[in-house]
Structure 1
């Protein structure tokens, strides 16, 4: 209230003072002239903007003449009706339909028949069943041979698989039949066949059963088992059982990847090459391979080892092996230049099945033991020269104990035994010898993948061997090389080519018998060879296509093994049909 009262008194006083000031007729203060001197200080408001279009004040300025435009509209009869605008359509490529099954059949020179059938049927979203059948045979006909050189190879495999919520599994089985002839007689010793042509035929046969199991999210990743029975028509037989599994072992927050396997093999041959005594062999190995991966920036290192226990069931001998298992990669320039290296080792299980598939002219008189690959040291560079060109350069050094080498069997002028079918003792078969071999190799490969229509690849490798007891590394080449190419010429036409080069190899053979003068064994150098092949095909429609192939285009008369020449130029034509059930 006091404040309001004071404001009221001040307001009344001011009004009275103003009234008195108006009523004064004369001011007591005289007029004075006051000059204020102050330097000029311009401000922004004093500035003005120059007009873009100046205004002319010239009275003689020419005036723009006014122009009038007239449009004369003339009606024209027309039936044109403008359509509504639409977005332009992009032509889409027709998607390639992939069929689940196919059958292929071809026939050619040397009475060659080549056939394949692949089947795959989806029983449900989680179940599949299928199989594969293959056949390759030839009636033979190589010039200058004294014995039949025909062969046939047939195989059948079937499988069933199922995918469940947390794991998937698969079972499979099949059988194989291979028929060959020991046709490679030494021409220096025989002017006519020492046996009937039909007696040189021998047949390998076998069957296998197996299964695989894979878990999606569990400590045990996967597992597999396989049993194989393999033998021939000379009372030879071999059983092999292999079981493997892999799992992760957690240790202080880290995982150690581990593999474990059991490998059993046992077999027998009715007799030896120069002895009627039966040959038996067998062993079982247990292997454990833990490894740990380290990653830091561009460096990746896998640290591990292999522990193998070997029990020789025939000689009651036990051995324990420790092998390194170390690999490392370092990205020097992203994907362009990657350096890698390592040192590994393993106990390699040899088998009659593997020997017969690599060299079908072996005699049923082999002794089978495992190979001790003490270490394999390697170093290399790999990467990409561009998005379409990749390369790999690598050097290796192997140290192997009891390495298996194919060596020609001796020429036995007086075969032992009472059997009439001992027809592999005339220098026309091969045995296996073992030796400690150190191997140095250097090689490289180049792959060019321009697009889906053109691929090209090169590969080559040089080898140098150092043996312990054998004078040479028998039947191992000093140089190998290969090239392949595939071209999609048009939508309908396609073609391809391949070639491989194998350098010189060495083999040794000796003539033995009670009436043969002792002579040192003869070492033979097998010449290098180059084999070129090509094929062309035409797609009749989405399901049917026809093809033609030519092998050994240069008609090279070379020997893959001692005294075993190969067929000359070969031509084959056929068709492939794709289908669904």
Structure 2
């Protein structure tokens, strides 16, 4: 029996071992469990968890990086979204701009006014252009015994090129002006005394020059201009002016400088009282450095101007130093800006400048520079609104050898056509001037603009009895109004206050006796309007009326102007 149990035990053990060998192929490892006795917990076996557990850094297992991949599978779709439509708005028709125009008008006093302006781009960087104008009248002023016709013809041309670092331009022009010394004193001569007099005078002006502007360079710009000016009385003048400017940035400030050379030389065939020729000429060298400082609302320019004058005719040299100071301060943004300054300059006078201001001067002038010792000014400017700007300024100026136009003396026996009390000389005097001037500009919209200016002057002279032919009050008003798309209008009003001149006569029987009389020229105003109609984008017609009040006022002594003048014409714009 025991042998049976033994055999049965051996078989059971063998089957167990065989089953164990087959399980060894499973993924689970072998485990051994030792059971001693069942665990019965008690309260005494519990323990309190620590507030601050301690970690053993050496036991921390490094966190593995997990990467996620998204597999995009394209899906075909037949959905097509509808296209949206933007809201439409009424848009004004674009205005075609033309580079060229021609204008022609005719009017009373046989007046002809014509202009042609041409501009053409040769390439993206090259441009050429020209300008031709003509204004003439056959005269016909009431009460004038001599011819009073005039003409003014100008021709200019230019070439301009823009390069990467600079832009330069050359230009030249010719100007021909004709006038008459028709201002003979009324009642002083008999009509027979004026028979055979040709009071005509013609001025010619030929000028050539150029300018260059640099980008991001020490030298800012440079210019050169030569002018030859003469008349039909064998007078001639040559002038050459060269200028250059350069800027230097120093930290947060700017140093600006200008260097100039001014050469002038001229002559008149004879003097007013003798047949001796009058020659003049000088060279002026000027250097004007300034230091500009900007601090918040303050802009300050501190500078000086140094000038050296070499009188080539009299072999005299002189050196001048002038202040060149200007400042502005924004008190209330753009509404109120205070400004002021103290400046001076050596002003180069010329026959050309005198004629442009008064074409009735005699060709017997003394030409010399004016020493503007100082010009001090203070004022305020700003904007009352986005549409209205203003400026108010007070000035005080001291000048040596200031030019004053004064009527020439009337000789007992006139020898030239300009010796009948109908020409003007240039008188030099030391003059101080006090003035107050104001300006108001209104720009309500693109269709209406208005400008108003006014000034009051007070003069003090050293040698002359009066500041001859300088007004005590001036005012002007300008306006332009676009009435509709086709109609436009504009106008201007000028007011000039009283001036004084002097008439000096030699006694008819004794040439050594002179009699002088100070004459007051009445103040005057001149009102002008124009009206135009735009036929199409290229053609416009216009009408102008000048001196609407028909005042036969005298701009210069014994020189009445034309009365009311009406002119009509057309302007045509085009491209090549």
1:412 CA drift (Å)? 1.6
Q: Structure 1 regions of 5+ residues with no counterpart?
A: 1-7, 18-82, 417-421
Q: Are 2:478 and 1:467 aligned?
A: no
Cα pair 2:468 2:501 within 8 Å, conserved: yes
Residues 223 and 10 (structure 1 numbering): CA distance in 2 closer, same or farther, change over 3 Å?
A: farther
Q: Structure 2 regions of 5+ residues with no counterpart?
A: 1-34, 45-81
Residues 118 and 11 (structure 1 numbering): CA distance in 2 closer, same or farther, change over 3 Å?
A: farther
Residues 165 and 236 (structure 1 numbering): CA distance in 2 closer, same or farther, change over 3 Å?
A: same
1:180 CA drift (Å)? 0.3
Which aligned pairs between 1:345-360 and structure 2 lie closer than 5 A?
345-360=344-359
1:168 CA drift (Å)? 1.1
How far apart in 1 are the matches of 2:230 and 2:36?
A: 134
Match of 1:13 among 27, 40, 63: 40
Partner of 1:569: 564
Cα pair 1:414 1:513 within 8 Å, conserved: no
Residues 162 and 513 (structure 1 numbering): CA distance in 2 closer, same or farther, change over 3 Å?
A: farther
Partner of 1:58: none
1:410 CA drift (Å)? 1.1
Q: Are 2:413 and 1:428 aligned?
A: no
Q: Deviations over 1:164-199 (max 9, x none)?
A: 111111000011100000000001311316344661
Q: Deviations over 1:67-86 (max 9, x none)?
A: xxxxxxxxxxxxxxxx9984
Q: Deviations over 1:50-71 (max 9, x none)?
A: xxxxxxxxxxxxxxxxxxxxxx
Partner of 1:499: 493
TM-score (norm. length: structure 2): 0.85
Partner of 1:114: 113
Partner of 1:449: 443
How far apart in 1 are the matches of 2:510 and 2:141?
A: 31
Q: Deviations over 1:440-462 (max 9, x none)?
A: 00010111100110011111000
Q: Are 2:300 and 1:293 aligned?
A: no
Please identify, of 249-258 and 463-472, the stretch whose mean Cα deviation from structure 2 is larger.
249-258
Residues 90 and 194 (structure 1 numbering): CA distance in 2 closer, same or farther, change over 3 Å?
A: same
Q: Are 2:531 and 1:536 aligned?
A: yes
How far apart in 2 are the matches of 1:256 and 1:96?
A: 43
Residues 513 and 542 (structure 1 numbering): CA distance in 2 closer, same or farther, change over 3 Å?
A: same
1:253 CA drift (Å)? 8.0
Residues 241 and 356 (structure 1 numbering): CA distance in 2 closer, same or farther, change over 3 Å?
A: same
RMSD between aligned alpha carbons?
2.1
Q: Secondary structure at the match of 2:464?
A: coil
How far apart in 2 are the matches of 1:10 and 1:146?
A: 154
How far apart in 1 are the matches of 2:83 and 2:285?
A: 78
How far apart in 1 are the matches of 2:509 and 2:252?
A: 75
TM-score (norm. length: structure 1): 0.84
Q: Deviations over 1:333-390 (max 9, x none)?
A: 0000000000111000000001011111011000100100111100011000000000
How far apart in 1 are the matches of 2:459 and 2:357?
A: 20
How far apart in 2 are the matches of 1:530 and 1:11?
A: 131
Residues 510 and 168 (structure 1 numbering): CA distance in 2 closer, same or farther, change over 3 Å?
A: same
Q: Secondary structure at the match of 1:157?
A: strand
How far apart in 2 are the matches of 1:443 and 1:348?
A: 22
